[in-house]
């Protein structure tokens, strides 16, 4: 079987990896370089964590994601993950951390509650004022995203049957006939077509585009002051929700930067527009929360701001669905798709090759089916 894949982010690359492992032919098309710095998959790190609010399907899927990441590390010959543990914090009426702990307790992976009075001793970098509950889990940490995509590209380039087409924009797709046309007018044909075009998906598949909103997100990279650097380097990932503001924090493990972002969707922006125009005003609530949660934050130098795009669905569930007679749309994002990139690609490859039930696959990818049905 020959599969055409549009998009060289984590979703497209992992689908190519899965298909190549099963001995099938792949041609992957990417409009930019490979790896593509403007894709959502390109950044120093992405978080992987078990706590998932009341999304039990995704909470369950994390173990499978870790298994498939392990398989990928074996194939790549290097492991691009730092296990830091996960600290979930909540206050001022927000209940995301408690709900996550309940969900995880129900599926046999309980979180440990840390009394707020003990937080300062265990995590002296944080100021517990305003926090009501704190939960800890040994699992979770960072996936070194840009190293992963770069290594995948290197690996795929050596696999028999895989052809990579960087700098090749796909202008049009025909999912009924598994055909695509590139912007230089060339037509390519296969047996299956997968469109994993991230924030640009609506341009190729307008019906999917009505369900996915590109969302400009600004994150901040900080350089903590020298006296706090070593302590931050061994800190866990932190997810915090207080009232209606919240943040996630990626610690500067293994020489990476310290990144803070929030999960509030802007639901605006054009992924082709300039990205060097972010201002602190765009993340004012996030900076305010940093000031109260991170000790000594007023002494931290100004951050480097970075713009990236989410592709957001209304219910934050992934779209991995058949389109036409021979195509699939693959849009696993809503700001949480990287951690599942490996398992999304690996399982889609298996569904294509073994002709598994597409409806079951889509429900599983949407986090609706509970435990993986495969």
Cα(99)–Cα(96) distance, rounded to whole angstroms?
5
Residue range at the interface with ligand FAD (CB under 6 A); choices 77-85, 195-203, 220-228, 287-295: 195-203
From 64, 211, 336, 363, residue interacting with ligand FAD (rule: CB under 6 A)? 336
Determine if 335 is a binding residue for ligand FAD (CB under 6 A): yes
Residues that contact ligand FAD, how many (by CB under 6 A): 38
Q: What gap in Å lies between CA 330 and CA 344, rounded to an integer?
A: 9
94 vs 237, which CB is nearer to ligand FAD?
237
Work out whether 338 is an interface residue with ligand FAD (CB under 6 A): yes
Selected range binding ligand FAD among 24-32, 153-161, 281-289, 292-300, rule: CB under 6 A: 24-32
Burial class (CB in 10 A: 0-12, 13-18, 19+), 323: buried
* DSSP structural state of residue 285: H
197 lies in the binding site for ligand FAD (CB under 6 A): yes
**DSSP state at residue 126:** B
Which window, 50-58, 205-213, 281-289, 306-314, contacts ligand FAD (CB under 6 A)? 306-314
Q: Which is nearer to ligand FAD, 8 or 246 (CB)?
A: 8
From 118-126, 199-207, 238-246, 349-357, span contacting ligand FAD (CB under 6 A)? 199-207
Tell which positions 36-75 bind ligand FAD, by CB under 6 A.
36, 39-41, 46-47
Sign of the alpha-carbon torsion through 262, 268, 272, 277: negative
- Nearer CB in complex with ligand FAD: 146/242: 146
Distance of CA 270 to the CA centre of its chain: 19
Do 236 and 251 form a contact (C-beta atoms < 8 A)?
A: yes
Q: Is 17 in the site for ligand FAD (CB under 6 A)?
A: no
Tokens of residue 45, six digits: 């790190």
For residue 196, what are the CA distances in angstroms to 251, 282, 313?
29, 29, 15
297 and 288 Cβ atoms separated by less than 8 Å:
no
Residues whose CB falls within 8 Å of the CB of residue 121, separated by 6 or more in sequence, listed in order:
none
What residues contact 274, with CB distance under 8 A and at least 6 apart?
A: none
* Nearest distance in Å: CB 153, ligand FAD: 11
Residue nearest to ligand FAD (CB): 9
Among 3, 7, 16, 290, binds ligand FAD (CB under 6 A): 7
Site string for ligand FAD, 129-168 (x = CB under 6 A): ----------------------------------------
Between β-strands 2-6 and 25-29, what pairing exists: parallel, antiparallel or unpaired? Answer: parallel
CB 74 within 8 A of CB 204: no
DSSP 48: E
Residue 209 lies near ligand FAD (rule: CB under 6 A): no
- What is the contact surface with ligand FAD in residues (CB under 6 A)? 6-12, 29-32, 36, 39-41, 46-47, 169-170, 196-200, 204, 217, 219, 261, 308-310, 332-333, 335-339
């Amino acid at each position: 079987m020959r599969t055409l894949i549009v998009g060289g982010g984590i979703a497209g690359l992992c689908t190519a990896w899965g298909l190549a492992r099963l001995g099938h032919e792949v041609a992957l098309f990417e409009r930019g370089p490979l790896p593509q710095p403007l894709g959502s998959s390109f950044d120093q790190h992405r978080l992987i964590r078990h706590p998932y609010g009341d999304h039990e399907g995704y909470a369950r899927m994390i173990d499978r994601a870790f298994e498939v990441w392990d398989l990928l590390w074996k194939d790549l010959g290097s492991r691009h993950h730092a296990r830091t543990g996960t600290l979930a914090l909540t206050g001022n009426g927000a209940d995301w951390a408690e709900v996550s702990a309940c969900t995880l307790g129900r599926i046999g992976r309980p979180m440990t509650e840390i009394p707020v009075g003990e937080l300062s001793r265990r995590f002296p970098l944080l100021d517990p004022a305003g926090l009501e509950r704190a939960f800890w889990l040994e699992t979770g940490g960072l996936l070194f995203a840009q190293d992963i995509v770069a290594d995948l590209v290197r690996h795929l380039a050596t696999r028999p049957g895989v052809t990579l087409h960087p700098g090749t924009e796909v202008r049009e797709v025909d999912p009924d006939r598994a055909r695509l046309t590139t912007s230089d007018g060339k037509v390519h044909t296969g047996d299956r077509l997968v469109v994993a075009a991230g924030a640009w998906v609506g341009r190729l598949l307008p019906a999917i585009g009505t369900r996915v909103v590109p969302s400009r997100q600004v994150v901040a990279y900080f350089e903590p002051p020298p006296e706090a650097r070593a302590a931050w380097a061994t800190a866990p990932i932190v997810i915090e929700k207080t009232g209606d503001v919240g943040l996630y924090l990626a610690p500067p493990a293994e020489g990476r930067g310290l990144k803070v972002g929030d999960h509030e969707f802007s639901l605006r922006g054009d992924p082709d527009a300039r990205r060097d125009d972010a201002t602190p005003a765009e993340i004012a609530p996030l900076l305010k929360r940093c000031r109260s949660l991170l000790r000594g934050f007023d002494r931290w130098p100004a951050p480097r701001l970075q713009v990236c795009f989410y592709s957001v669905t209304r219910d934050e569930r992934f779209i991995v669905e058949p389109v036409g007679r021979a195509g699939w749309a693959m849009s696993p994002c809503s700001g949480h798709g990287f951690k599942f990139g490996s398992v999304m690609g690996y399982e889609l490859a298996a569904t294509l090759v073994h002709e598994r039930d597409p409806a079951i696959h889509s429900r599983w990818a949407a986090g609706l089916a509970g435990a993986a049905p495969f």
